[in-house]
Amino acid sequence: MKKFFGVLSNFFKPTQSKYPSDSATEPAKITQSKVLVIVYDPVMDETTGTTLSQQQSWYRTSDLITSFMLDMIQISGGMARYQIVQRVDLDEFPAKTDGFRYTPQEYMNVLRGTIPPHMPQEVNYNAIISQFNILQRVARNEIDEVWTFGFPHAGFYESTMGGPGAFWCNAPPLKNTEASKRRFVIMGFSFERYVGEMLEAYGHRAESIMEKTFSKLSGEANLWKRFMQYEKIAPGKAACGNIHFAPNSQQDYEWNNLTPVKSECYDWQLNFPNFKGDVRMVGASEWGSGEIRAHHKWWFNHFPRVAGRKNGIHHNWWQYVAAPQNVII
């Protein structure tokens, strides 16, 4: 009987927390990510071989990649480093979820507004994942994430996440992708847009991942909520805002508001996690006076990237943003 109660008591012992213990000295780790790049740039004129991006005088994908990767090194303080391990250029329009593909003429009619876009608009992610063996390659650590480049109406989300335990990443998680054995992100960029818009897509990814990272914490312990505060929603307590709202923004994308407000953004950049009450008056000149790329670089540059861990969460947020498999859920 004594043995029985001894065994029974094991069921009621508190389970060990899956969160690591706090540390003031654990070094901030660099995340090095291997990327598969898939470019959809169909030939629009078979005679000349002119592609869609060339015909429309849109940006060169190579230039976008180079500039974006340099920005990532700069804004993360070297904590998020990307390596392109393979680039695939495709002469095709990606298939939609119902199998539809645009022809060059159909697509130009949509672009000119003479016919509506095909519905459903969403690209067939399952087909892409299968075609490029993405789950297997992630599982074998050959790649860590995927960057797709397309065009207006291509049907890509700005970002979406797959893998076991995948969660909302500015889009619903990809179903039936557990075979990857770890989480991964597929980014959806456009060569019709420039680097600022790439940073915006990455910014929404970061928002989703950090929201999940801090989701079990409330009140003052939820530092992500504090980081995102801006004057309109937290009068007198603005911090760094979010990807759409600067500290003084009154509406979406208003990064050119000249009205100064009190903000603790310098405290985040200079003193985190040991805040010193460094509150200053800031306005649009701090983040580029309305220029999208400048604002987003300013915002990301305030992400913590120092040593230590509190409440089980690293003080280097790039260990989550660039590597979502590190998020404990």
pTM confidence score: 0.94
C-alpha distances out from residue 258 to 62, 161, 286, 287, 310, Å: 35, 37, 10, 11, 36
Torsion of CA 185, 141, 17, 306, to 10 degrees: -70
**What are the tens digits of pLDDT across the range 55-114?**
999 999 999 999 999 999 999 999 999 999 999 999 999 999 999 999 999 999 999 999
Run of H or E including 126: helix 125-131
Mean pLDDT confidence for 295-324 = 98
- pLDDT range class, residue 7, cuts 50, 70, 90: very low
pLDDT higher than 50, residue 15: no
Q: Provide the pLDDT for residue 277.
A: 98
- pLDDT range class, residue 12, cuts 50, 70, 90: very low
Q: Provide the pLDDT for residue 119.
A: 98
Nearest to residue 168, comparing CAs of 150, 183, 155, 156? 183
**What share of the chain has pLDDT > 70, as a percent?**
95
Distance of CA 270 to the CA centre of its chain: 24
**What are the tens digits of pLDDT across the range 33-44?**
999 999 999 999
Nearest to residue 253, comparing CAs of 281, 298, 294, 292? 292
C-alpha distances out from residue 255 to 135, 196, 249, 259, Å: 39, 13, 6, 11
Strand, coil or helix: what is 249?
A: coil
Provide the CB-side half-sphere exposure for 47 (13 A, CA).
0
**What are the tens digits of pLDDT across the range 246-275?**
999 999 999 999 999 999 999 999 999 999
**What are the tens digits of pLDDT across the range 270-288?**
999 999 999 999 999 999 9
Strand, coil or helix: what is 105?
A: helix
- pLDDT range class, residue 4, cuts 50, 70, 90: very low
Q: Are 169 and 159 in contact (CB under 8 A)?
A: yes
- pLDDT range class, residue 20, cuts 50, 70, 90: confident
Would residue 156 be called left, alpha or beta, if left means φ above 0 and alpha means ψ between -120 and 50 degrees?
beta
Greater pLDDT, 190 or 1:
190
Strand, coil or helix: what is 68?
A: helix
Task: Please report, for the chain, the start and end positions of each structural domain, with discontinuous segments joined by +.
Answer: 31-202, 219-310
Strand, coil or helix: what is 119?
A: coil
- pLDDT range class, residue 229, cuts 50, 70, 90: very high
